[in-house]
């Protein structure tokens, strides 16, 4: 599993930008975006979800460059023999 940094942003009815940055562990970039989006939308109320659907959700995702601890441990164990 890799760590991805996903930033989600939308504009609400008062033309204010609401955003959240989440670090997610996933095996691929699309999986990380899906997990982060699901988590973000669960935290919104009915009106906020409406505003997000109306104005769109902007998603920016990038690999944080570091593998998780368990993956690092597995790779060192595999090389050790």
36 in any annotated domain: yes
Look up the domain containing 61 and give its range.
2-69
Question: Beta-strand (E) ranges in 1-81?
Answer: 2-11, 17-26, 58-67
State the pTM of this model. Answer: 0.72
78 in any annotated domain: no
Structure tokens at 80: 């050790």
User: Taking 80 as the threshold, does the pLDDT of residue 58 lie above it?
Assistant: yes
80 in any annotated domain: no
60 in any annotated domain: yes
Q: What is the pLDDT of residues 7-30, one digit of tens each?
A: 999 998 888 898 999 999 999 999
What is the number of domains present in the chain?
A: 1
79 in any annotated domain: no
76 in any annotated domain: no
Judge contact between 36 and 58, C-beta under 8 A: no
34 in any annotated domain: yes
User: Taking 60 as the threshold, does the pLDDT of residue 51 lie above it?
Assistant: yes
43 in any annotated domain: yes
Say what the pLDDT of residue 41 is.
Answer: 92
């Amino acid at each position: 599993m890799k760590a991805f940094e996903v930033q989600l942003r939308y504009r609400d009815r008062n033309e204010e930008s609401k955003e959240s940055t989440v670090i997610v562990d996933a095996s691929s970039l699309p999986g990380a975006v899906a997990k982060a989006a699901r988590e973000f939308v669960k935290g919104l109320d009915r009106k906020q979800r409406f505003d997000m659907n109306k104005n769109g959700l902007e998603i920016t995702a990038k690999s944080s460059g570091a593998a998780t601890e368990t993956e690092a441990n597995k790779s060192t164990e595999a090389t050790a023999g």
